[in-house]
């Protein structure tokens, strides 16, 4: 049998020689950039043109339309501000166009006045504008710094100008506030919030209103609010800054029971976490 001859030559592997890809031509990139830029500019011009068109149409149809001139300006207020004061502060007058101003603009002008709580504006086409101003209602008096005359507070803690009024003299007087304050701004103080919460509870509940007539509230103490109840023989109450509604109802029940026994409470301490609060009688 003939021997098979093995050749020592090795067949080289066959490679497909790929054509080397050249990078993207710089001119093509520049051309694409120009196209995108032009497209964006055209889009912006289109949007701008549409906005201007709507603005122009709105002016012609509304803010420059003589049909919408104010012929009836109806101004009302639930407080002391007069119609003329509201007109002067807002800048509103007859013959103005109903759409030549924004409601937010008028509200901002009127809410600069310290006594203004809110403003309601209503257009009645084609020529009537209603303006109603709600004034802040004082719920307490407050002594501030070295001022000898108490200022007024509304339910939100906004500082109001002083007023001479016999009815306001019976509002609870808050003492012990030693910070500066600007008229018409909110007093952002936790103790003021506590005091107003107590006043609000006593005013909103008939049971508390009858039995807990607050005269003064001293907020200088760290552990309690020193409350004095109105009467020929005042009652001193040490009121904690927690569970105030529960404590007030407990206070009212103790006062009611003492009254039924012909007694008058001189002092009661509600700061203790106990079922019965220490009470001293006259």
Check residue 146 and give its pLDDT: 77
Any bridge partners for residue 134, and if so which?
A: 118
3-state secondary structure of 121: strand
The whole-angstrom separation of Cα 276 and Cα 257 is 13
Is 66-135 in CATH node 3.40.220.10?
A: no
Check residue 1 and give its pLDDT: 44
- How is domain 138-281 classified at the CATH fold level? Rossmann fold (3.40.50)
- Look up residue 100 and give its two tokens: 């030549």
Nearest to 216 by CA among 170, 259, 255: 170
Check residue 259 and give its pLDDT: 95
Any bridge partners for residue 238, and if so which?
A: 226, 269
Q: What ranges do the domains of the chain cover?
A: 66-135, 138-281
Left, alpha or beta for 221 (phi > 0: left; psi -120 to 50: alpha)?
Answer: beta
Check residue 229 and give its pLDDT: 97
For every one of its 282 residues, what pLDDT tens digit does the chain have, with 9 covering 90 and above?
Answer: 444 444 455 555 555 555 555 555 677 777 888 888 888 888 888 787 777 666 665 555 567 788 999 999 999 999 999 999 999 999 999 999 999 999 999 999 999 999 999 999 999 999 999 999 999 999 999 999 778 889 999 999 999 988 888 889 999 999 999 888 898 999 999 999 999 999 999 999 999 999 999 999 999 999 999 999 999 999 999 999 999 999 999 999 999 999 999 999 999 999 998 889 999 999
Angle separating helix axes 244-260 and 190-204, nearest 10 degrees: 50
Reported for 182-190, long-range contacts at CB under 8 A and 24+ positions apart, including other chains, are: 183/114, 183/151, 183/159, 184/112, 184/113, 184/114, 184/115, 184/158, 184/159, 184/160, 185/158, 185/159, 186/156, 186/157, 186/158, 186/159, 187/142, 187/153, 187/157, 187/158, 187/159, 188/157, 189/157
- Whether pTM > 0.95 for this model: the answer is no
């Amino acid at each position: 049998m003939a021997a098979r001859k093995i050749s020592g030559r090795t067949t080289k592997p066959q490679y497909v020689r790929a054509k080397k890809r050249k990078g993207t031509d710089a001119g093509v990139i520049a051309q694409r950039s120009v196209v995108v830029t032009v497209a964006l500019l055209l889009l912006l011009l289109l949007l701008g043109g549409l906005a201007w068109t709507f603005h122009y149409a709105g002016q012609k149809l509304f803010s420059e339309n003589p049909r919408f001139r104010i012929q009836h300006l109806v101004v009302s207020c639930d407080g002391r501000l007069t119609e003329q004061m509201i007109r002067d502060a807002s800048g509103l007058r007859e013959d103005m166009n109903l759409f030549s101003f924004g409601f937010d603009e008028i509200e901002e002008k009127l809410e600069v006045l310290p006594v203004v709580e809110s403003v309601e504006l209503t257009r009645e086409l084609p020529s009537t504008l209603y303006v109603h101003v709600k004034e802040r209602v004082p719920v307490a008096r407050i002594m501030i710094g070295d001022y000898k005359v108490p200022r007024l507070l509304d339910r939100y803690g906004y500082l109001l100008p002083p007023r001479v009024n016999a009815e306001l003299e019976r509002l609870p007087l808050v003492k012990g506030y030693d910070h500066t304050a600007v008229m018409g701004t909110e007093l952002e103080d936790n103790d003021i919030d506590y005091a107003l919460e107590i006043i609000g509870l006593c005013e909103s509940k008939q049971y508390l209103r009858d039995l807990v007539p607050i005269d003064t509230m001293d907020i200088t103490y760290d552990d309690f609010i020193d409350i004095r109840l109105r009467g020929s023989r005042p009652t001193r109450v040490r009121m904690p800054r927690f569970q105030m509604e529960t404590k007030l109802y407990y206070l009212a029940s103790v006062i009611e029971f003492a009254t039924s026994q012909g007694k008058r409470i001189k002092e009661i301490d509600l700061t203790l976490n106990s079922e019965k609060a220490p009470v001293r009688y006259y």
